[in-house]
């Protein structure tokens, strides 16, 4: 603090003047003191939305750098500032000292979420009142004449009974429409049958008696034009934020008229009408089930299997409740730079593998009130067990994601076909990511092993980044190195299999087999590399202490030789190659190449009845090894 100034005066002071001076000095002193005090931080304006859940797990122990190299293999980009509409993520309470792994309904492994971190608001007052509109589409194609399993009734007979019951349950506030397809024209000519789609009743109040009579009169004849029926039914559903539009489709098979119902479902969900499609697969086979479930998943609706009257009744009742539901579930996954990461949220029957519904993120999804196991389809997936979604409630799941990408070099970006995300401790698979194109790879925060697979047929990764730490809302750049083998006249040498061992611990890191890549991409590090030139349990040469650096290609040129017998004939016997100390370094048998390759060096060759010592191989050169009689 600066010293107070002292005023000295001879004689009687002039009091007004003195007071003015003293006040001035005190003001100056306060200003000086304030200039030395630390400035108070500005209070941020908190956004209206709740904070993001950073992750449902504790961050594992600190990551270990893959290798000690001059250029870091991982570059971290600083997190982007949050926009006013997105809250900065808050830390999740740590459940333990490692990833909180749990079994998922489908039998895979994911993370255990904390239901207490979900944002729930109860009561219908929190949900904006909307007009519920439902279009019922009933499959009346020829296949509906088949009998149900363990029943004397046909599919259409049971469907008529259940549909007639269902229309009596439509609430008075819900407007409905009724559509049939495949019911007026036989399968030939096909072009006519595929256009057989009829709006029996337009959107409006349900006349129970008229609906029942129409349902009971329907015949089963033709093909299954699902895509066109969805398109036509959606035209009657009004657009607007005050409308809640749903289609309830009952079908016993897949599209048979050349349409793409999944594509149509996506377009309808993205339209101004924002149509949700609930689908009942009526005693369907696997191919049909996959397509019908895609329709529901793509549009944010529910899919249910039904192979009996009771199951059909239950499925249609649930779909009708969902269409008029005031209960809302919303998933938001935010990535670096406030990117809206598109993921799915899946609802399962608690404690079972029965999938009830699949929905899109970044949308207010109407759901039937009840208790569910909720799975967020991120990588890793997250399970929130036994979550109660009460009538009129609004539930928000908000997660923050991390991201990574691969740096390009050698004129290309070495994006692998897929990246497997693995828990480092027990090496548990936590999901995989396909090449996202121009987008980065989005993963929930944590520390993981990242295994890179170059193709769908490759059984082992061609590169592994161990213990990569991914922080919330941050994107990192992973820098691969490359390894190349060359031979005589600089020809590419591509062994049948290559195994990479850690140069220090000699533990197997990964292997690559069955391909002829332009380069072998691998995480930076120091390796011992074994070369296998054919299907055999024996290595055919090893490269010691090969250093792979980020964004660099380490090219190693091998030496070559051919074997000739005493008559000068090229032969391919079984033999062993040893170093000059007598230690075996390669073994060959049942292998007949144009030329043999080994790392440059001096070797002894041991044949069945003879031996050739001190054979020197030079990089890029070919020699003849003469086998004695």
Whether 57 and 399 have beta carbons less than 8 Å apart is answered as: no
pLDDT at 109: 94
Strand order of the β-sheet with 175-181 is 197-204, 175-181, 131-139, 243-251, 276-282, 303-306
Same-domain status, 191 and 298: yes
**Other CB atoms within 10 Å distance of the CB of residue 614:** 9
How far apart, in Å, are the Cα atoms of 167 and each of 172, 199, 212, 301, 308? 11, 16, 8, 20, 19
Tell me how far apart the alpha carbons of residues 172 and 157 are, in angstroms, rounded to a whole number.
Answer: 27
**Other CB atoms within 10 Å distance of the CB of residue 392:** 17
The string of pLDDT tens digits covering residues 473-491 is 999 999 988 889 999 999 9
Same-domain status, 314 and 247: yes
Domain housing 205: 130-323
The larger pLDDT score, comparing residue 370 to residue 150, is at 370
Span 376-397, average pLDDT: 92
**Residue 420: inside a domain:** yes
Tell me how far apart the alpha carbons of residues 271 and 137 are, in angstroms, rounded to a whole number.
Answer: 20
**Based on the number of CB atoms within 10 Å of its own CB, is 544 exposed (0-12), middle (13-18) or buried (19 or more)?**
exposed
**Residue 92: inside a domain:** no
Same-domain status, 509 and 454: no
CATH number of the domain residue 250 falls in = 3.40.50.410
The larger pLDDT score, comparing residue 192 to residue 20, is at 192
**Residue 100: inside a domain:** no
Measure CA of the first residue to CA of the last residue in the chain; give whole Å: 101
Whether 389 and 372 have beta carbons less than 8 Å apart is answered as: yes
Tell me how far apart the alpha carbons of residues 327 and 395 are, in angstroms, rounded to a whole number.
Answer: 8
pLDDT at 486: 96
Q: What is the dihedral of CA 573, 579, 584, 585, to 10 degrees?
A: -80
Same-domain status, 418 and 492: no
The string of pLDDT tens digits covering residues 248-268 is 999 988 999 999 999 999 999
Specify the 3-state DSSP secondary structure of 619.
coil
Does 52 score more than 50 pLDDT?
Answer: no
**Residue 306: inside a domain:** yes
Span 395-400, average pLDDT: 93
Q: What is the DSSP string of 53-115?
A: B--SS---SPP--S---SS-SEEEEPPPPPPTTSPPPBPPPP-SSS--EEE-TTS-EEEE--G
Whether 314 and 303 have beta carbons less than 8 Å apart is answered as: no
Preceding omega of 380 cis (within 30 degrees of 0): yes
Same-domain status, 463 and 507: no
Span 332-339, average pLDDT: 94
Span 150-176, average pLDDT: 89
Q: Where are the alpha helices (H) located in 389-471, listed in sequence order?
A: none
Beta bridge partners of 448: 468
Q: What region does 274 belong to: left with phi over 0, alpha with psi -120 to 50, or beta?
A: left
Tell me how far apart the alpha carbons of residues 126 and 229 are, in angstroms, rounded to a whole number.
Answer: 35
**Residue 390: inside a domain:** no
Same-domain status, 470 and 490: no
Same-domain status, 539 and 468: no
pLDDT at 123: 54
Same-domain status, 467 and 511: no
In 3D space, the residue among 488, 419, 495 whose CA is nearest the CA of residue 453 turns out to be: 419
- b (16+ CB within 10 A) / e for 455-468: eeebeebbbbbbbb
Whether 347 and 372 have beta carbons less than 8 Å apart is answered as: yes
Tell me how far apart the alpha carbons of residues 362 and 198 are, in angstroms, rounded to a whole number.
Answer: 34
Domain count, the chain: 4
For 113-127, 285-299, 387-401, 449-463, which range has the lowest pLDDT when averaged over its residues? 113-127
Span 505-520, average pLDDT: 82
Does 301 score more than 50 pLDDT?
Answer: yes
pLDDT at 535: 63
Tell me how far apart the alpha carbons of residues 492 and 415 are, in angstroms, rounded to a whole number.
Answer: 22
Whether 197 and 161 have beta carbons less than 8 Å apart is answered as: no
The string of pLDDT tens digits covering residues 345-357 is 999 999 998 888 7
Tell me how far apart the alpha carbons of residues 589 and 557 are, in angstroms, rounded to a whole number.
Answer: 23
Span 415-419, average pLDDT: 86
**Residue 119: inside a domain:** no
Same-domain status, 563 and 599: yes
From 423, 442, 477, give the residue that closes a domain: 477
**Residue 285: inside a domain:** yes
Lookup: tokens for 218: 């329907």
pLDDT at 509: 83
For 82-91, 251-260, 416-425, 426-435, which range has the lowest pLDDT when averaged over its residues? 82-91
Whether 488 and 504 have beta carbons less than 8 Å apart is answered as: no
From 452, 477, 502, give the residue that closes a domain: 477
Lookup: tokens for 120: 């729930």
Same-domain status, 460 and 555: no
Whether 547 and 604 have beta carbons less than 8 Å apart is answered as: no
**Residue 41: inside a domain:** no
Same-domain status, 489 and 460: no
Tell me how far apart the alpha carbons of residues 368 and 322 are, in angstroms, rounded to a whole number.
Answer: 5
pLDDT at 30: 32
Q: What region does 563 belong to: left with phi over 0, alpha with psi -120 to 50, or beta?
A: beta
pLDDT at 431: 93
In 3D space, the residue among 336, 259, 331 whose CA is nearest the CA of residue 294 turns out to be: 259
Does 361 score more than 90 pLDDT?
Answer: no
Upper half-sphere CA count for residue 142 (Cβ side, 13 Å): 11
Span 130-159, average pLDDT: 89
Does 437 score more than 90 pLDDT?
Answer: no
pLDDT at 99: 60
Does 547 score more than 90 pLDDT?
Answer: yes
Whether 602 and 616 have beta carbons less than 8 Å apart is answered as: yes
For 32-41, 114-123, 543-552, which range has the lowest pLDDT when averaged over its residues? 32-41
Same-domain status, 492 and 566: yes
Does 93 score more than 90 pLDDT?
Answer: no
Helix 208-217 × helix 155-167 angle, to 10°: 170
From 450, 477, 504, give the residue that closes a domain: 477
Mean pLDDT of the chain: 80
Phi first, then psi, for residue 494 (nearest 5°) are: -125, 95
- For residue 248, give the H/E element and its range: strand 243-251
pLDDT at 512: 80
pLDDT at 63: 35
For 48-52, 91-95, 296-300, 365-369, which range has the lowest pLDDT when averaged over its residues? 91-95
Span 488-495, average pLDDT: 93
In 3D space, the residue among 491, 494, 487 whose CA is nearest the CA of residue 514 turns out to be: 494
């Amino acid at each position: 603090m600066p010293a107070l100034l002292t005023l000295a005066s001879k004689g009687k002071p002039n009091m007004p003047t003195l007071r003015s001076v003293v006040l001035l000095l005190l003001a100056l002193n306060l200003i000086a003191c304030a200039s030395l005090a630390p400035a108070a931080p500005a209070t941020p304006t908190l956004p209206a939305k709740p904070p993001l859940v950073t992750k449902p797990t504790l961050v594992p122990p600190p990551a270990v750098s893959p290798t000690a190299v001059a250029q870091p293999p991982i570059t971290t980009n600083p997190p982007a500032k949050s926009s006013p509409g997105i809250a900065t993520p808050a830390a999740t309470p740590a459940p333990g000292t490692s990833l909180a792994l749990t079994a998922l309904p489908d039998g895979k492994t994911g993370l255990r979420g904390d239901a207490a971190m979900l944002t729930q608001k109860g009561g219908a007052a929190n949900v904006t009142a909307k007009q519920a509109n439902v279009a019922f589409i009933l499959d009346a194609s020829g296949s509906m004449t088949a009998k149900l399993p363990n029943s004397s009734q046909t599919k259409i007979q049971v469907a008529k009974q259940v549909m007639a019951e269902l229309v009596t349950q439509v609430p008075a506030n819900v407007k409905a429409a009724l559509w049939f397809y495949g019911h007026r024209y036989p399968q030939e000519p096909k072009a006519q049958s595929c256009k057989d789609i009829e709006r029996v009743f337009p959107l409006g109040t349900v006349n129970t008696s008229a609906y029942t009579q129409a349902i009971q009169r329907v015949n089963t004849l033709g093909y299954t034009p699902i895509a066109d029926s969805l398109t036509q039914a959606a035209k009657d559903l009004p657009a607007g934020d005050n409308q809640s539009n749903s289609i309830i489709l009952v079908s016993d098979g897949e599209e048979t008229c050349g349409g793409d119902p999944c594509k149509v479902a996506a377009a309808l969900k993205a339209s101004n009408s924002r149509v949700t499609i609930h689908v009942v697969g009526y005693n369907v086979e696997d191919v049909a089930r996959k397509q019908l479930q895609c329709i529901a998943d793509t549009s944010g609706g529910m899919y249910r299997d039904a192979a009996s009257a009771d199951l059909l009744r239950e499925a249609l009742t649930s779909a009708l409740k969902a269409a008029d539901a005031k209960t809302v579930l919303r998933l938001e996954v935010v990535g670096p730079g406030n990117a809206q990461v598109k993921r799915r949220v899946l609802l399962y029957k608690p404690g079972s593998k029965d999938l009830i519904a699949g929905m899109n993120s970044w949308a207010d999804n109407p759901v039937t009130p009840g208790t569910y196991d909720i799975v967020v389809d991120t990588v890793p997936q997250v399970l929130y067990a036994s979550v109660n979604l009460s009538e009129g409630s609004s539930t928000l799941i908000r997660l923050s994601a991390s991201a990574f990408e691969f740096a390009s070099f050698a004129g290309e970006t070495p994006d692998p076909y897929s990246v497997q995300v693995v828990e480092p401790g027990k090496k548990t698979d936590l999901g995989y990511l396909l090449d996202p194109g121009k987008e980065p790879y989005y993963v929930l925060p944590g520390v993981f092993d990242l295994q890179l697979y170059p193709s769908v047929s490759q059984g082992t990764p061609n590169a592994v980044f161990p213990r990569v730490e991914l922080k919330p809302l941050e994107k990192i750049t992973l820098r691969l190195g490359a390894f190349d083998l060359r031979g005589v006249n600089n020809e590419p040498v591509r062994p049948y299999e290559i195994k990479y061992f850690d140069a220090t611990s000699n533990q197997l890191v990964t292997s690559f087999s069955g391909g002829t890549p332009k380069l072998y991409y691998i995480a930076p590090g120091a390796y011992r590399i074994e070369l296998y030139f054919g299907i055999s349990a024996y290595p055919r040469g090893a490269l010691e202490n090969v250093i792979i650096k980020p964004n660099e290609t380490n090219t190693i040129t091998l030496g070559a030789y051919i074997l000739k017998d005493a008559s000068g004939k090229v032969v391919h016997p079984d033999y062993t190659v040893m170093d000059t100390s007598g230690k075996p370094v390669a073994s060959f048998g049942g292998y007949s190449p144009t030329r043999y390759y080994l790392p440059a060096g001096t070797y002894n060759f041991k044949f069945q009845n003879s031996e050739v010592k001190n054979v020197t191989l030079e990089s890029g050169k070919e020699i003849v090894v003469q086998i004695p009689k």
